[in-house]
């Protein structure tokens, strides 16, 4: 059920000092890193974690086009504040290691209400 959507500047996909990857390999590395880090927390059922990336060619931050990564974690309600904080810290730590020169790396977690969540498998 958890969905992690990564917004980032497109230019970070061209190279990483830490991994030496570029392009599609970089995208795969980012997706796998976020997925595996979330999975290692034990907060989610194996196989339920979904990760997407949305690179932006055009962005504006305080008058300059600064590289950035922001992860939106959308999870089902029921985890403690401490669990959610640890999840965020772990993911940011991994991304910071991968991208030591990216000045803006952040994450926030939003919760779905179980009572209002619906997907196609829930409809007969």
pLDDT band at 15 (very low <50, low <70, confident <90, very high): low
The torsion region of residue 42 among left (phi > 0), alpha (psi -120 to 50) and beta comes to left
pLDDT tens, 21-38?
667 888 999 999 999 999
Distance CA(17)–CA(117), nearest Å, equals: 40
Mean pLDDT on 32-61: 94
pLDDT at position 17, please?
57
Please say whether the structural domain 3-115 has been given the CATH code 3.30.429.10.
Answer: yes
User: Residue 47 region, left (φ>0) first, then alpha (ψ -120 to 50), else beta?
Assistant: left
Kindly tell me if the per-residue pLDDT of 20 is higher than 80. no
- Average pLDDT value over all residues in the chain: 92
Which tokens go with 2? 């958890």
* DSSP-based helix, strand, coil % in the chain, nearest 5: 35, 25, 40
| pLDDT for the residue 19 | 64
In this model, does residue 60 exceed pLDDT 60?
Answer: yes
Q: What is the pTM of this model?
A: 0.90
* CA gap 103, 101 in Å, rounded: 6
Q: For 73-118, what is each residue's pLDDT tens digit?
A: 999 999 999 999 999 999 999 999 999 999 999 999 999 998 999 9
């Amino acid at each position: 059920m958890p969905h992690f959507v990564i917004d980032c500047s497109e230019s970070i996909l061209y190279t990483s000092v830490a991994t030496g990857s570029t392009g599609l390999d970089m995208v795969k590395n980012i997706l796998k890193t976020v997925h595996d880090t979330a999975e290692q927390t034990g907060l989610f059922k194996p196989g339920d974690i979904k990760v997407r990336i949305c690179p932006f060619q055009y962005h504006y931050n305080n008058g300059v086009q600064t590289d950035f990564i922001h992860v939106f974690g959308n999870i089902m309600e029921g985890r403690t504040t401490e669990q959610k904080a640890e999840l965020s810290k772990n993911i940011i730590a991994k991304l910071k290691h991968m991208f030591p020169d990216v000045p803006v790396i952040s994450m926030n977690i939003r919760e779905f209400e179980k009572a209002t969540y619906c997907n196609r498998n829930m409809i007969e």
